[in-house]
Chain A
């Protein structure tokens, strides 16, 4: 960091004058002094006070500050930006019906628009103030660290007329300030200030940037890639719940997967009402299908697939199992032929004697188709004369 200025160096060292300053002790004096300096035609001068004085702006004939325009522009930009963004999100990018309202509901966007307008207005005003209006940070101004500055930041008022001013003449200015009643003293540039040759890549600054980069990158990585994967932040990776096919401490048998509760049925499924009741099945069940070509083809297919191994291809009971399984009686017996369709359906569904239930292999519709086919078989093997016509 650059050093401040040196004050009043004795000796024959060459010093470059920055300005002549004068200290005053009352507000009225400094106002008078400011007016006098302004009227004398100086332009590169400044007044320094520990707090703003009323009337000083007029005394120095300062033009009205333009800061307000920055505020206006920033506020409008913030407002239009935010309402546009919110509108785009709600009506174009991801429209959702929220609260039954239309996609674009302007009353709901007012609060965020207002807040962002204010945020932009204030932040940009302050940024403009510091960077453009003050040209800060500037910690190496010639006036820093001088007795003049120390007085003026506490309780005195001062005026400083710069040597760069076109009308500057050390004696004239000195006399003017003395006549106004001020305590005059010169301020010189420090040697370091004059010797300062700014480089594009100032080593300390580059080091600072590098340091900031390392810290922010490292800190960011450590946080979002490491810290946020430690419990309890670990994105619900460890959850105390049962997974399929895992062991469970909770149940005595150790199975996490449980069978459905007794009496559960699948959705959309109506249980077979005549389980174990062949007589009622015989009485109440009616074949809902008509014996069309498609139905018979389906019935034939299913019969040949599921029934024919035991009952034979034509229902005669001539199983091709070669005695591995007891042969069923023929389906063309009188007993079976007078059974109602419901009985046949019931036997397929519920099983009978050695025959198991085929309800899981053959769907209900298919079963009715098989019934039609069996009836066809029966009729085929016991055809009447009338059938030929």
Chain B
């Protein structure tokens, strides 16, 4: 596909060849049915170790308190909030691929939607871990952050963006979980009907709720899917917008700027897509899904990264310009400080990775190269982590009053939890691809050429 000239009068096929539905079932369930391979086990050992490091760090944190981190005054938010925003951002890609690309009728999402949604759930779990444990007493915070009538007679503060976060992230997790689950029900039913052992059969019977592939059900199912996609889409925007409000409602220079909401959303999609790209390049190779997740899909992901990366670059430019335009000396200082102050190195890593690297995707050669896509995606993730670091730490370390300035130096426990979050995320991903179908069987069958009746054209747009 990459070397030939595109014929615009023909639709680009989502799936290569015309695999039969039975073949598709076989290919997709093969990782689930087969014994774990060596590579998978090695991967699990690595991620398991990372998870263990995280577990130890978490235990120490719970025992000793948040003083084991490098946070202090004025930098009261360090890796905890940076990682929270980072992981929530990663989660948004899954919903975007699953819901927004569905609404935009982009069939190429089919091969990647299922595990992208799973990645959303895992990423949100990682994010919730940070935001919960950065409270001084998380065992109380877990309960007191919810508005329930109590003997103190107090409620949560509905005007605080930190509470908006609680509502937003909880809703996002619940809706993503439900959306993912409803999507898997037909696959659970297929797995139930293919199950060989009684244990598997029982499990899948329960999980499929008795789905029978009846068209009378498909009708309601499709409407429900559309409705959920329709809600998940603004939810992606609203959740990361509310996360951005944590910063933007303040008066801190560098934080209080009205473009934060769409800037954060674009950044979230940007980093999330990079993470999905990394996972999908590995997955399609490992499980031989190359004909189901085509190079065209990878190229389109890169184009979206170019788009969202450019949006992030636009936001950088606008922030910088308006800071100058405002004439406010402190605003102007913030941006000088970011680039040339004590954390200058973080800023330039961010800039190179976020603004420069995605621009390489203007070249078709780079866009269609698997190696380049993989490497650039890693750089984008690094860049986006540093962006959150620059926003949170640099701004706090140098705010209004010079006598209050202070530095943040991360401790080993900060790093331990960061490593642990990656461990948790990738462990869950590895477990997921071994336990559940990584590609939606029902959806992929529907987009193969010849899947739909000729009345609507061969493989016409799927609603």
Binding site for B on A (CB under 8 A): 1, 27-28, 30-31, 34, 46-57, 60, 62, 65, 67-68, 71, 85-86, 89-90, 93-94, 96, 98-99, 101, 105, 108-109, 111-112, 114-116, 118-119, 121-123, 125-126, 129-130, 133-134, 136-141, 143-145, 149-150, 152-155, 228, 232-233
Which residues, 407 to 463 on B, are CB-close (under 8 Å) to A? 441-443, 445-446, 450-456, 460, 462-463
Decide yes or no whether B356 CB sits under 8 A from chain A.
no
Given A111-B242, A115-B168: A52 and B215 interface contact (C-beta under 8 Å): yes
Can you offer 26 A-B residue contacts whose CB atoms are under 8 A? A27-B453, A50-B441, A51-B442, A54-B452, A55-B456, A57-B215, A67-B220, A90-B159, A94-B155, A101-B159, A108-B158, A112-B163, A116-B167, A116-B171, A119-B170, A123-B175, A125-B227, A133-B220, A134-B220, A141-B212, A144-B212, A149-B193, A149-B213, A155-B20, A155-B22, A233-B139
Q: Taking CB as reference atom, which chain A residue is nearest B238?
A: A114
- C-alpha gap A81/B171 in the complex (Å): 16
CB proximity of B20 to chain A, nearest CB, Å? 6
Q: Give the residue of B65, B139, B193, B460 whose beta carbon is less than 8 angstroms from that of A54.
A: B460
CB proximity of B281 to chain A, nearest CB, Å? 27
Given A115-B238, A154-B25, A155-B20: A62 and B216 interface contact (C-beta under 8 Å): yes
Decide yes or no whether B245 CB sits under 8 A from chain A.
yes
B205: chain A residues at CB < 8 Å are: 1, 139
- Categorize the interface residue count of chain B: 35 or more
- C-alpha gap A106/B307 in the complex (Å): 35
Q: State which of B228-236, B361-369, B380-388 sits at the interface with chain A.
A: B228-236
Given A65-B219, A232-B62: A52 and B182 interface contact (C-beta under 8 Å): no
Q: Would you call the interface of chain B mostly helix, strand, loop, or mixed? A: helix
Decide yes or no whether B190 CB sits under 8 A from chain A.
yes
Decide yes or no whether B157 CB sits under 8 A from chain A.
yes
Given A119-B171, A123-B174: A155 and B159 interface contact (C-beta under 8 Å): no
Decide yes or no whether B10 CB sits under 8 A from chain A.
no
- C-alpha gap A150/B204 in the complex (Å): 14
Would A52 and B174 count as touching, CB distance under 8 A?
A: no
Would A109 and B158 count as touching, CB distance under 8 A?
A: yes
Q: Taking CB as reference atom, which chain A residue is nearest B169?
A: A115
CB proximity of B351 to chain A, nearest CB, Å? 31
Query: Which are the 5 A-B pairs with shortest beta-carbon distances?
Result: A155-B21, A108-B159, A51-B446, A138-B210, A136-B209
- C-alpha gap A152/B217 in the complex (Å): 14
B189: chain A residues at CB < 8 Å are: 153
Decide yes or no whether B153 CB sits under 8 A from chain A.
yes
Would B453 and A150 count as touching, CB distance under 8 A?
A: no
Decide yes or no whether B43 CB sits under 8 A from chain A.
no
Q: Give the residue of A49, A89, A228, A232 whose beta carbon is less than 8 angstroms from that of B213.
A: A49
Q: Taking CB as reference atom, which chain A residue is nearest B461?
A: A54
- C-alpha gap A121/B209 in the complex (Å): 22
CB proximity of B258 to chain A, nearest CB, Å? 13
B286: chain A residues at CB < 8 Å are: none
- C-alpha gap A46/B451 in the complex (Å): 20
- C-alpha gap A242/B207 in the complex (Å): 57
Would B452 and A149 count as touching, CB distance under 8 A?
A: no
Q: Give the residue of B160, B216, B455 whose beta carbon is less than 8 angstroms from that of A31.
A: B455
- C-alpha gap A300/B354 in the complex (Å): 88
B228: chain A residues at CB < 8 Å are: 122, 125-126
- C-alpha gap A28/B457 in the complex (Å): 11
Would A54 and B220 count as touching, CB distance under 8 A?
A: no
B462: chain A residues at CB < 8 Å are: 54
Q: Taking CB as reference atom, which chain A residue is nearest B445?
A: A51
Given A54-B456, A65-B219: A118 and B175 interface contact (C-beta under 8 Å): yes
- C-alpha gap A51/B221 in the complex (Å): 11
Decide yes or no whether B41 CB sits under 8 A from chain A.
no
A51: chain B residues at CB < 8 Å are: 186, 442-443, 445-446, 451
Would A48 and B219 count as touching, CB distance under 8 A?
A: no
Decide yes or no whether B45 CB sits under 8 A from chain A.
no
Q: Give the residue of A49, A111, A139, A143 whose beta carbon is less than 8 angstroms from that of B164.
A: A111
A49: chain B residues at CB < 8 Å are: 213, 215, 218
Would B215 and A122 count as touching, CB distance under 8 A?
A: no
